[in-house]
Amino acid sequence: MRAYMPQAKTVEWDTPTTLKNQLHEEFGQFDLDAATREDNPMNAVSILTKEDDALAMTSNWIGDIVYLNPPYGRIIKDFISKALFEYEKGNAKKIVMLLPSRTCTRWFHTIYQRSDVELRFIKGRLRYNDSDHAPFPSMLVILG
């Protein structure tokens, strides 16, 4: 017998407005949103969209504080690797990531083992798009 895991209809989830407001209150305006849409829901100074290919080696994530809410499919590990690369390179001083809380994944353990990371598990399920509950728990990962 196999466990049933419902599949999400999308891998792209906007940051909920209430969480966005809390993050702006704590961190101020973000210098870069590394995975967003053209309409820039986080109101960052600079943005990278799908068309900009944030994962390309030529795409530098520059800023004192960078925000990342990546696509939540298999590509998430590539965004996390890129975030770690940009932080270690010194391009991004601090990176705030909104991620699904998937503690059984390799990428989670890569993050968890670092001494320069703060993990904040979000109680309950976020209401993405301010109406639909996420089909998974979420966490904030603060690098730097």
Q: What is the pLDDT of residues 86-141, one digit of tens each?
A: 999 999 999 999 999 999 999 999 999 999 999 999 998 887 665 677 788 999 99
Q: Measure Cα distances from 10 to 22, 42, 71, 127 in Å.
A: 25, 19, 9, 14
Q: Is the pLDDT of residue 4 over 50?
A: no
Contacts of 137 (CB under 8 A, 6+ apart): 100, 101, 121, 122, 124, 125
Please state which of the ranges 7-11, 41-45, 56-60, 130-134 shows the lowest mean pLDDT.
Answer: 7-11
Q: pTM here?
A: 0.88
Mean pLDDT across 61-88:
96
Instruction: Please check whether residue 99 is in contact with residue 138, taking contact to mean a CB–CB distance below 8 angstroms.
Output: yes
Q: CA quadruple 12, 45, 61, 24: dihedral positive or negative?
A: negative
Residue 33's pLDDT band (cuts 50, 70, 90):
very high
Instruction: Calculate what percentage of the chain has a pLDDT beyond 70.
Output: 88
Taking the C-alpha atoms of residue 97 and residue 83, their distance in angstroms, rounded to an integer, is 9
Specify the 3-state DSSP secondary structure of 133. strand
